[in-house]
Structure 1
Amino acid sequence: MTRVDRAWLADAVRRIEADYNRSSDTHLIRVELPRRAGVTLYLKDESSHPTGSLKHRLARSLFLYSLCNEWIGPSTTVIESSSGSTAVSEAYFAKLLGLRFVAVVPAGTATPKLEAIRFYGGEIHTVDDPTATTEAARRLAAETGGHFIDQFTYAERATDWRGNNNIAESMFAQMSREPHPEPTWVVCGAGTGGTSATIGRFIRYRRLDTRLCVADPECSVFHRCYADPAVRGLGPGPRSVIEGIGRACVEPSFMPTVIDRMEAVSDAQSIGAMRALSAALGRRVGGSTGTNLWACADIIDEMAASGEEGSVVTLICDGGERYAQTYYDDAWLERQGLDWRGPAERIAALLG
């Protein structure tokens, strides 16, 4: 076994921690709901990270975890299976450490995401079958003698859920001076399952009454597994167009036991909610943010109907600039057969 030079390792960890120290925390945006008195919506804006998405936190944690396990050294090629945002953030950290990075992505990944990976010095390895990216990443790691950083396995364990600048600690600290400081619900999506695992564990560790809802694309296995643990994968069939969340097979980082509720959301609902929120904010957000918001709308309507007051917190997962040729292109949406205008009207009414 070849050991990693401790001086290089210490410097690598220092570089990552210094990078974090140069960045402020992400913003928490309060959204008043004039037609839902007593309920307030909050959006934690993860698009304000240096690499533009929630995955910046995950990438930082994965690199630190791999470094401290001595899986990454000064000449290691780092490889990841990713549809885009995680790879963008990991390419950023690989560049920070002077390491080669290869992203294994499914064909059809949004071009702006691929350009962002390349901007940070990453290389692209495209796979036609989106279910075969993990296998391809393992093969590349073996061929290059590199390290497969494997977000889908390590996401739930790389982040210290008890509190070490993780998203849950940040979210609840920012809520502490709001009228309803302990959220009634937190809503997030699941790609690896790492974010939901971190938030769900944090809630239990801090003995909070907050409940966790995970919003999942209809064409994903996670909500099916939540309803029936025997379901571990999907057969051939249509897949969601919402990048970054939903999977065809249950990943090791998905922890259903810390989730209180799951909502299956159609692609049309996700896109409609995304477009309505973008109009309300005056800037574009990504598709998975729309998925989150649609589940929030269901919860908020239920709270209002029962006379329950409180706060609901969800995430702006990434910005919408990377989706100009897809989610914000009406012709593209029409080719996908997505009738998003009705869902957009529902969310616009909620927000307005």
Structure 2
Amino acid sequence: MTSWTSTAIALLEADANRSADTHLHVFPLPGEWGIDLYLKDESVHPTGSLKHRLARSLILYGLVNGLIHEGTALVESSSGSTAVSEAYFARMLGLPFVTVVPRSTSQEKIDLIEFYGGRCHFVDSPSEMAPEAARLASECGGHYLDQFTYAERATDWRGNNNIADSVFSQLAQERHPIPTWIVVGAGTGGTSATFGRYVRYRRHDTRVAVVDPEGSAFHGGWSNGDPTFATGIGSRIEGIGRPQVEPSFVPGVIDEMIAVPDAASIAAMRLLKDRTLHWAGGSTGTNLFGAFELIARMRDAGETGSVVTLICDSGRRYLDTYYSDDWVTAQGWDLAPHRARMERFLGGGAWN
């Protein structure tokens, strides 16, 4: 291992060490239920999202496998939070970073990637992103980080940078320290793979549920046992949902999948803000809605326990979209029935 690689790994480890662990917030539920709901707040990472962990893991994976060296250009196919976080780490290591994005990408996202020193390479269609990223990396002798392939293997589910280990450590002094359910969404599938493997490795009696937005292929692929399943439709809930099942999605470690309407995701995201003052994005709303469904089953069955889900990113990124009534109306979403359902449930009423 070269001295540069050793220094690069030390820099990544120092970034993790100086960042206090993300908080585990309690969502208020009726006390008589005997059920606790926790939200792990990944929005407080330096780059503002859960993808901060993924980006660090992807780059560390490239370093320890001899794929990234001094001067290696890093390439990705992402217009969202993953690219933002990868740009942050590339700048830290003094490496060039380019991400392939659709021409329709908002200027706000482009500006954030460029703020951290990244460069955007534009293509006409989302379907062109991955092939173009692979071509760019090959032509310049760079490394294609390829989040959708490497997410599940880049994170060591037994140790390094492990969100699952963090959650269980933080729950150690709670009244239900071993959660009944972990609820996450799937973008690459890396987070659900980490939790699913970890609970099996530690022999915890915890089940993992994955929530999926409209148009995503993960739910259909899991239900049908078809790793080639595709919808060809992009997700309107940023950060989760894919038009095809991705290589990093590991169905064998998932106990249940829940399809969540997009309008329900946004209604839940807004309810979270009103009840806790936590501003979060749409994928957090998807998580919360799925968590409510599982909690309702537990309550109705007379079960007690805890449920954990994630705040994936900050709502500040969505003031002109998910938090805009005009924008929501333009999508054809009616949030009112979903909001009424959740309010009825939290007041002690039926979920279904």
TM-score bracket, shorter-length normalisation: over 0.9
What is the aligned partner in structure 1 of residue 261 from structure 2?
Answer: 266
- Judge which range, 106-115 or 210-219, deviates more: 106-115
Highest RCO, 1 vs 2 (Cα 8 Å, sep ≥ 6)? 1
Quote the offset at 1:283 in angstroms.
3.5
Kindly provide the amino acid, as one letter, of the partner of residue 55 in structure 1: K
What is the aligned partner in structure 2 of residue 28 from structure 1?
Answer: 24
What is the aligned partner in structure 1 of residue 164 from structure 2?
Answer: 168
Equivalent pair of 2:99/2:121 in contact (CA under 8 Å): yes
- Judge which range, 217-226 or 122-131, deviates more: 122-131
Quote the offset at 1:286 in angstroms.
0.5
What is the aligned partner in structure 1 of residue 71 from structure 2?
Answer: 75
What is the aligned partner in structure 2 of residue 153 from structure 1?
Answer: 149
Does residue 333 (structure 1) correspond to residue 333 (structure 2)? The answer is no
The 1:290–1:111 alpha-carbon spacing in structure 2 relative to 1, beyond 3 Å, is farther
Equivalent pair of 1:240/1:246 in contact (CA under 8 Å): yes
Quote the Cα distance in structure 2 between the aligned partners of 1:346 and 1:106: 37
Quote the offset at 1:349 in angstroms.
4.6
Quote the Cα distance in structure 2 between the aligned partners of 1:188 and 1:235: 21
Does residue 305 (structure 1) correspond to residue 300 (structure 2)? The answer is yes
Quote the offset at 1:151 in angstroms.
0.7
Among 234, 239, 262, which residue is 1:244 paired with? Answer: 239
Equivalent pair of 2:42/2:311 in contact (CA under 8 Å): yes
What is the aligned partner in structure 2 of residue 62 from structure 1?
Answer: 58
Quote the Cα distance in structure 1 between the aligned partners of 2:252 and 2:48: 30
Structure 1 runs, 4 residues or longer, greater than 6 Å off? none
Q: Pairwise CA RMSD of aligned residues?
A: 1.6
Does residue 347 (structure 1) correspond to residue 342 (structure 2)? The answer is yes
SS in structure 2 opposite 1:99?
A: coil
Quote the Cα distance in structure 2 between the aligned partners of 1:28 and 1:88: 24
Kindly provide the amino acid, as one letter, of the partner of residue 334 in structure 1: T
- Judge which range, 64-73 or 312-321, deviates more: 64-73
The 1:207–1:251 alpha-carbon spacing in structure 2 relative to 1, beyond 3 Å, is same
| Matched pairs, number | 347
Quote the Cα distance in structure 2 between the aligned partners of 1:213 and 1:235: 21
The 1:27–1:277 alpha-carbon spacing in structure 2 relative to 1, beyond 3 Å, is same
SS in structure 2 opposite 1:104?
A: strand
TM-score (norm 2): 0.95
Among 188, 202, 212, which residue is 1:206 paired with? Answer: 202
Equivalent pair of 2:137/2:144 in contact (CA under 8 Å): yes
Quote the Cα distance in structure 2 between the aligned partners of 1:303 and 1:211: 13
What is the aligned partner in structure 2 of residue 188 from structure 1?
Answer: 184
Among 266, 270, 290, which residue is 1:275 paired with? Answer: 270
Quote the Cα distance in structure 1 between the aligned partners of 2:60 and 2:346: 39
* 1:148-170 C-alpha deviation (Å, 9 max, x unpaired): 11111111111110122300000
* 1:292-312 C-alpha deviation (Å, 9 max, x unpaired): 111101101111111111100
Kindly provide the amino acid, as one letter, of the partner of residue 189 in structure 1: G
Quote the offset at 1:190 in angstroms.
0.5
SS in structure 2 opposite 1:187?
A: strand
SS in structure 1 opposite 2:257?
A: strand
Quote the Cα distance in structure 1 between the aligned partners of 2:17 and 2:330: 45
Quote the offset at 1:97 in angstroms.
0.4
Kindly provide the amino acid, as one letter, of the partner of residue 337 in structure 1: G
Quote the Cα distance in structure 2 between the aligned partners of 1:349 and 1:319: 26
Quote the offset at 1:73 in angstroms.
1.4
Quote the Cα distance in structure 2 between the aligned partners of 1:128 and 1:325: 24
Among 33, 45, 51, which residue is 1:37 paired with? Answer: 33
Quote the Cα distance in structure 1 between the aligned partners of 2:70 and 2:194: 30
Quote the Cα distance in structure 2 between the aligned partners of 1:223 and 1:195: 16
Kindly provide the amino acid, as one letter, of the partner of residue 285 in structure 1: A
* 1:230-254 C-alpha deviation (Å, 9 max, x unpaired): 3623245x53211111111111110
Quote the Cα distance in structure 1 between the aligned partners of 2:178 and 2:231: 40
TM-score (norm 1): 0.95
What is the aligned partner in structure 1 of residue 112 from structure 2?
Answer: 116
What is the aligned partner in structure 2 of residue 255 from structure 1?
Answer: 250
Unaligned ranges ≥5, structure 1: none
Quote the offset at 1:216 in angstroms.
0.7
The 1:351–1:108 alpha-carbon spacing in structure 2 relative to 1, beyond 3 Å, is farther
What is the aligned partner in structure 2 of residue 223 from structure 1?
Answer: 219
Q: Percent same amino acid among aligned pairs?
A: 58
Equivalent pair of 2:211/2:286 in contact (CA under 8 Å): yes
Quote the offset at 1:110 in angstroms.
4.4
Quote the Cα distance in structure 1 between the aligned partners of 2:81 and 2:298: 33
* 1:264-323 C-alpha deviation (Å, 9 max, x unpaired): 111111111111112222231011001111110110111111111110000000001111
What is the aligned partner in structure 1 of residue 350 from structure 2?
Answer: none
